[in-house]
Structure 1
Amino acid sequence: MNAGTRARLDRIGTDGRYLVVPMDHGITLGAVRGLKDIESTIDAVTRGGADCVLTQKGIAPRVHPNKNGKGYVVHLNGSTVIGPDSDDKRLTGTVEEAVRAGADAVSFHINVGSNYEPKQIEGLARVADDADRLGMPVLAMTYARGPGVDEHDAQALGHAVRLGEELGADLIKTAYSGDAESFAHVVESTRLPVVIAGGAPEGDHATLTAVRGAMDAGAAGVSMGRSIFQHDDPEAITSAVSAVIHDDASADDALDRAGLSVEI
């Protein structure tokens, strides 16, 4: 890893742990709750303890004035839920464009096991090469997703995260397998830091229990979108997630610290 990549990787995490809040869902879902006034949401989550936020390149002018000195990641592919197939992520930007947008890192999504896997593998390989030349870290979002694939199967997830390392990523995001014991296999499948996706919101306690389990398995943090930016209090839930990741708090203690009710 070159010096520029290392320096920028430090800007999107804290002491090797990461709380990323992706808000690139405007392409996928549209201007849903939490993203219409994205400026206020970015301000809230970065005040709450997010290490960085993530958007598509066109949102960059709305990010920088509101991120409170935290890191910024530009996502480089996407799809919509109203298109032919949301698994068919297509290129939306380049590493050079991300540099011009003021990014500290780039991210790229692959659905391992889907019909689009071959092209997405080629895409991530090209992004990793371009990023290396420019000293830009790559967050590979490697999901086990496709016909007959269990998106939460630890063996499939282990394969997915290893693919990200093999193609030259610096940080890997994938789904949580559901418990610390099985997720340990996923973490052990790569030497890169692994962060878990948030998925559809299931309640504060369930969210934090998953984060705690992932951290116990050796994960390096989370890349959590809707459970944070669509929360009634984005700053408070970010603070709670941060307490688990950065302060090693339990789920209940994190909720209490953030002033959120403990409901199971």
Structure 2
Amino acid sequence: MADKDGNILAKNYGIGIPTPKQYFHVKGMDHVDWGMKNRLSKIFNPKTGKAVMLAFDHGYMMGSTAGLERLDLSIPPLIEYADVLMATRGGLRSSILPNHNKAIALRCTAGSSVIKEDMSHEVIGVDIEDAIRMNASCMAVQVFIGASGECETISNLVNTIDMGNRYGIPVLGVVAVGKEMERTTRYFLLATRIIAELGAHIIKTYYCQEFEKITAACPVPIVIAGGKKVPEDKALEIVYRAIQEGAAGVDMGRNVFQAENPKAMLRAIRSIVHEGYNQEKAFKLYNSLKRDE
């Protein structure tokens, strides 16, 4: 039985006790299974509804990357300040201790290296059994909308979504831009909506002009990719603007581990995402933490 406001009335010895409606804190995920919600709650903080992701999966196509020459040295000091680690299974198994209890966004596609001009012909590189063995909180699949490998990567996405739905593991659909692909509001509106409508539970894309149009049109949470290294104050400005314009989090890599002080940078990013800092206050925090270490 419900009252005029839609609250469910629980009967206790004949007395109606109003119980407010409960909505899940992750956009568009009210109707997924309990296990998937549990995994999503490891990714997105239930108190803020947002996530700080640390990406260090670059080696799967870029090889040894500046700042990630030694995964076992560069990443462990940062783990405390991230909600989610986005990595390859090889990087995790070889270099990261399994006792951190952070959510894992497992890179599950594989493809051409940066040596190739066309990197869009990816394949599924991790099967569902290994994702389960890795205790993945979500599986990351890259999709090249508009590229020659578009249909192949869409097939990778929907097949992974089907497998994830079977076992309660969400899928993070990554909007790939390649080397020559379009990077406009129009393109990101198209790509994010397609990936969401195909069933991805989270979308990773780049920040761009009129970003609020993209988050408004996407029925699932969007996290922004950090992209190429920019000055720390500029990176913090992008984080702040993205959160203000509807992003549910950030997935930063090079703008963290290539920063002058990676730990201070990740803490400054966290202050924007979870504590409501603006970019000026976060940059002051960064400089303060940098001086103290």
TM-score between both structures, scaled by the size of structure 2 = 0.81
Equivalent position to 1:127, from 157, 160, 164: 160
The alpha-carbon deviation at position 194 of structure 1 amounts to 0.5
Equivalent position to 1:174, from 185, 188, 205: 205
The alpha-carbon deviation at position 213 of structure 1 amounts to 0.8
Q: Structure 2 CA distance, aligned partners of 1:65 and 1:146?
A: 34
Q: 1:141-220 to 2 correspondence within 5 Å?
A: 141-143=174-176, 149-151=181-183, 153-177=184-208, 179=209, 182-220=210-248
Unaligned runs of 5+ in 1: none
Q: Structure 1 CA distance, aligned partners of 2:60 and 2:107?
A: 11
Report the RMSD for the aligned CA atoms in angstroms: 1.9
When Rg is computed on C-alpha atoms for both structures, the one with the higher figure is: 2
Cross-structure match for 2:107: 75
Q: Structure 1 CA distance, aligned partners of 2:263 and 2:100?
A: 13
Q: Structure 2 CA distance, aligned partners of 1:31 and 1:146?
A: 19
Equivalent position to 2:83, from 51, 63, 72: 51
2:261 counterpart letter in structure 1:
D
Q: Structure 1 CA distance, aligned partners of 2:94 and 2:54?
A: 15
The alpha-carbon deviation at position 240 of structure 1 amounts to 0.7
The alpha-carbon deviation at position 95 of structure 1 amounts to 2.4
Structure 1, residues 143-198: CA drift from partner, whole Å, max 9, x if none? 35586x521x1121011111121111111101111x4xx00111011120101111
Partner secondary structure for residue 186 of structure 1: helix
Figure out how many residues of one structure are paired with residues of the other and give that number: 255
Q: Structure 1 CA distance, aligned partners of 2:35 and 2:73?
A: 30
Q: Structure 2 CA distance, aligned partners of 1:253 and 1:67?
A: 33
Flag the 1:36–1:25 CA change in 2: closer, same or farther, 3 A.
same
Equivalent position to 1:229, from 257, 262, 272: 257
Partner secondary structure for residue 112 of structure 1: coil
Contact 2:268 2:282 in 1 (8 A): yes
Flag the 1:208–1:171 CA change in 2: closer, same or farther, 3 A.
same
Structure 1, residues 12-57: CA drift from partner, whole Å, max 9, x if none? 221321111111111211122322321233222222x211111111
Which structure has more relative contact order (CA 8 Å, sep 6+)? It is 1
After TM superposition, the structure 1 stretch with the greater mean CA deviation from structure 2, 138-147 or 6-15, is 138-147
TM-score between both structures, scaled by the size of structure 1 = 0.90
Flag the 1:39–1:145 CA change in 2: closer, same or farther, 3 A.
closer
